[in-house]
Amino acid sequence: MTPPRIALSLGLLALALILGALSFQYIGHMPPCEMCHWQRWPLFAAIAVGVFSGTLVRRDDNAATALAVLAILLVAASGAIGVYQAGAEWHWWQGPQACTGTRVVFHSLTDLNTPGQARCDLPSFRLFGLSLAGWNALIDFGAAIAASVMLLRRRA
């Protein structure tokens, strides 16, 4: 697979993850915590890098490879934040003080998107044992590893 296609694939994966997160937020009524937002920023950047690389950089192999590596690093960064949040959810380590600690009192559905309502150390739900942060980490690291292998095979 060519570097522009690798970057574009990662950008499209990042877009799918963002759309999934927004679906959980607005359709599933699961408000994101502060660390959920942290995981989104590298994905937004990966979308921009992937689309730029996949559509505009076709001739310059060095630039395309650099953008593919940047997309890999951005997706992996989102995964690393996901590991941090999942570890805080499992109480393996302390999460940031801004969104962990005492339980927030829920008054009504109008409070769902109020900042500070969602806690970083309590998952909204788990699917097959993993929270959304855990799934994000697993998907991000899996994609970053697969993209790295494809990029290294092409170089060899």
Residue pLDDT tens, the chain, 156 long: 888 888 899 999 999 999 998 888 888 887 787 788 889 899 999 999 988 876 676 666 777 888 889 999 999 999 999 998 888 877 787 777 666 655 555 555 665 555 546 766 766 776 687 788 888 999 999 999 999 999 888 765
Q: Is residue 105 part of a domain?
A: no
- Predicted local confidence at residue 16, as pLDDT: 94
Three-class secondary structure assignment of 81-148:
HHHHHHHHHCCCCCCCCCCCCCCCCCCCHHHCCCCCCCCCCCCCCCECCECHHHHHHHHHHHHHHHHH
State how far the alpha carbon of 24 is from the alpha carbons of 17, 39, 54, in Å. 11, 14, 28
Q: Is residue 24 part of a domain?
A: yes
Q: Is residue 136 part of a domain?
A: yes
Q: Is residue 112 part of a domain?
A: no
For the chain, how many structural domains are there in total?
1
Q: Is residue 109 part of a domain?
A: no
Q: Is residue 22 part of a domain?
A: yes
Q: Is residue 108 part of a domain?
A: no
CATH number (domain holding residue 95): 1.20.1550
- Predicted local confidence at residue 28, as pLDDT: 82
DSSP 14: H
Task: Supply the range of the domain harboring residue 85.
Answer: 3-100+117-155
3 burial (CB, 10 Å; 0-12 / 13-18 / 19+) is buried
Q: Is residue 124 part of a domain?
A: yes
